[in-house]
Amino acid sequence: MDSSKKPLIEITDLVKKFGNFTALNGVSLDVYPGEVHALLGDNGAGKSTLIKILSGVHPATSGKIYVDSQEVKFSTPRQASDLGIGTVYQDLALNALTSVTRNFFLGRELKKGPGPFGVMQKKEMNEITVKEMAKIGIDISDPEQPVGTMSGGQRQTLAIARAIYFGAKILILDEPTSALGQKQQMEVLKTIKDVQKLGHIAIILITHNEIHARLISDRYTFLSLGEVIGRGMAEELGGDDIKRLMAGGAEIGDLRKELTN
């Protein structure tokens, strides 16, 4: 990475235990502005636990987290959001029956007037929704259309645009292409590239799809059973290297299962 830049987020020796079970064991990771950093690993690798710690759902047992070079401590999703950490989960938290705009603002609607009696500013909200989605590559002709009429790729873009508009400078994407058809997967990957081009957002891409990771990522970190088993720059690791590390993680998991049976 450019030595003049500093990581937006840095995780050092993160450990998470649930009773006697160690879900994460000494995980370190950093992500720079304008970078897509892929976190790869099979089910049970520790990816979900790491997401939940960074999103404020679970506290870490030990280790440190730095945002903008400042050590931070948080224990709720709201606190994580206030620090600029935005997470887009697989379920997207969208209501298919309500409009694109209502989903974009969801609980943070613009109102004019005091308290609960304020009048919703629909025109301004529609304009913001269209503008923010266009920034990352999706043109919405009718922001009043129900979200249920959108493609899976467009829904992902809506969730991403919402996170960015409300202050996310560190964007965590949880398996954004899973359960989508190939065309929709490409829509989502293009959206991620468009977000990267904005230049000021650090992106953590959680995935087990090594092909998608290779298409858009600048760096890789490989997790297996809560530990980092490899890392590298995109230009340093070829397809065979990535497959080997992915397969190695799965093999380690299988061997440990045999030992505990």
Note whether residue 156 is domain-resident.
no
Residues 104, 229, single domain; the answer is no
Model confidence pLDDT, tens digit, residues 181-207:
899 999 999 999 999 999 999 999 999
pLDDT number for residue 48: 92
Per the structure, the complete domain to which residue 65 belongs is given by 9-94+167-260
Note whether residue 64 is domain-resident.
yes
Could you tell me what percent of the chain has a pLDDT over 90? 71
Cβ proximity of 160 and 88 under 8 Å: yes
Residues 52, 178, single domain; the answer is yes
The CATH number assigned to the domain holding 183 equals 3.40.50.300
Q: 255 falls in which pLDDT band (50, 70, 90)?
A: very low
Note whether residue 135 is domain-resident.
yes
Note whether residue 154 is domain-resident.
no
Residues 21, 75, single domain; the answer is yes
Geometric angle at alpha carbon 162, from 187 and 214, rounded to 5°: 35
Residues sharing a CB contact under 8 Å with residue 53, sequence separation 6 or more, in sequence order: 14, 16, 24, 59, 60, 65
**Three-state SS letters, the chain:** CCCCCCCCEEEEEEEEEECCEEEEEEEEEEECCCCEEEEECCCCCCHHHHHHHHCCCCCCCEEEEEECCEEECCCCHHHHHHCCEEEECCCCCCCCCCEHHHHHHCCCCCEECCHHHCEECHHHHHHHHHHHHHHCCCCCCCCCCEHHHCCHHHHHHHHHHHHHHCCCCEEEEECCCCCCCHHHHHHHHHHHHHHHHCCCCEEEEEECCHHHHHHHCCEEEEEECCEEEEEEECCCCCHHHHHHHHHHHHHHHHHHHHHHC
- Identify any residues that bridge with 30 across adjacent strands, giving them in sequence order: 10
What global pTM score does this model have? 0.89
Model confidence pLDDT, tens digit, residues 33-46:
999 999 998 888 89
Q: 113 falls in which pLDDT band (50, 70, 90)?
A: confident
Model confidence pLDDT, tens digit, residues 2-37:
556 899 999 999 999 999 999 999 999 999 999 999
Geometric angle at alpha carbon 37, from 67 and 156, rounded to 5°: 95
Residues 115, 237, single domain; the answer is no
Report the alpha-carbon distance of residue 216 to residue 36 in Å, rounded.
7
pLDDT number for residue 119: 85
pLDDT number for residue 261: 57
pLDDT number for residue 236: 87
Q: 144 falls in which pLDDT band (50, 70, 90)?
A: very high
* Burial class of residue 29 in the structure, from the number of CB atoms within 10 Å of its CB (0-12 exposed, 13-18 middle, 19+ buried): buried
